[in-house]
């Protein structure tokens, strides 16, 4: 079976809703081709949502991150009170927070890609010519999309494997692990949208002669 056929077979496997069929299809090499298309098309869709729905663009990722942070703090706080005051302990108090932290971290990472507060070497790159600046920023875009592709592919495979094995969160009887794992490819799809949006903004500045590389401010908007 060719890689194109393997990639095409993933669509009916997903539509079936059967984790065993999805796991079988996701293991094949065609998954990389499918994920590459998903990364690009999903990124373009996410970019357009961010572009035409400003409320989502400004608040979705950081609202999710803050909500997860508050839930983590609340669970840990109650776990301490429950243990030392009531001599009791919910078994999920030490297993649920790490999953919530995972969700918080990747959505926050997507938002920080928008803010460009990752390693951008702006002090060094700002001294380059506009053409070279656009070159290194385009290289960044390719690397970021490659990172998103890798994360989306592997996390989707891990998610369906977890669903197939009916993995439950340790210490909790009614919470599946894949409910948390599925947020990873979603976050990285949104991240690819941020990456595409950044490149389009940079290319627009390059063509118009405006400043391309600006100093990023941690905790601020750009």
State the pLDDT at residue 211: 83
Q: Is 166 exposed, middle or buried (0-12, 13-18, 19+ CB in 10 A)?
A: exposed
Is 60 part of a structural domain of the chain?
Answer: no
Is 72 part of a structural domain of the chain?
Answer: no
d(CA 191, CA 107): 8
Per-residue pLDDT of the chain (222 residues), as tens digits, is 688 898 999 999 999 888 899 999 999 999 999 999 999 999 999 999 999 999 999 999 999 999 999 999 999 999 889 888 888 888 888 899 999 999 999 999 999 998 887 767 777 787 888 899 899 999 999 999 999 999 999 999 999 999 999 999 988 888 899 999 999 999 999 999 999 999 999 999 988 888 878 776 655 554
Is 138 part of a structural domain of the chain?
Answer: yes
Is 68 part of a structural domain of the chain?
Answer: no
How large is the C-alpha radius of gyration of the chain? 21
d(CA 132, CA 170): 51
Is 70 part of a structural domain of the chain?
Answer: no
Instruction: Show the CA angle centred on residue 109, arms to residues 104 and 112, nearest 5°.
Output: 125
The boundaries of the domain holding residue 45 are 3-54+117-208
d(CA 72, CA 178): 18
State the pLDDT at residue 1: 62
d(CA 100, CA 64): 10
Is 112 part of a structural domain of the chain?
Answer: no
State the pLDDT at residue 222: 47
State the pLDDT at residue 147: 95
- Total domain count for the chain? 1
d(CA 186, CA 181): 9
State the pLDDT at residue 130: 87
Is 142 part of a structural domain of the chain?
Answer: yes
Is 159 part of a structural domain of the chain?
Answer: yes
């Amino acid at each position: 079976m060719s890689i194109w056929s393997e990639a095409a077979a993933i669509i009916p496997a997903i539509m079936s809703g059967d984790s065993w069929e999805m796991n079988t299809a996701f293991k094949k090499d065609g998954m990389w081709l499918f994920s590459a298309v998903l990364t690009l098309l999903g990124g373009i869709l996410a970019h357009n949502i961010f572009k035409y729905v400003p409320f989502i663009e400004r608040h979705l990722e950081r609202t999710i991150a803050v909500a997860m942070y508050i839930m983590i703090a609340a669970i840990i706080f109650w776990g301490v009170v429950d243990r030392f005051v009531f001599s009791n302990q919910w078994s999920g108090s030490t297993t649920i927070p790490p999953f919530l932290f995972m969700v918080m971290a990747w959505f926050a990472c997507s938002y920080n890609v928008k803010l460009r507060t990752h390693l951008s070497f702006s002090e060094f790159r700002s001294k380059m010519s506009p053409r070279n600046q656009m070159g290194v920023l385009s290289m960044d875009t390719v690397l970021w999309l490659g990172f998103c592709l890798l994360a989306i592919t592997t996390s989707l495979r891990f998610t369906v494997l977890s669903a197939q094995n009916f993995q439950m969160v340790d210490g909790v009887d009614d919470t599946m692990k894949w409910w948390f794992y599925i947020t990873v490819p979603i976050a990285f799809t949104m991240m690819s949208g941020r990456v595409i949006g950044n490149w389009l903004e940079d290319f627009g500045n390059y063509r118009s002669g405006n400043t391309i590389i600006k100093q990023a401010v941690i905790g601020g908007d750009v």
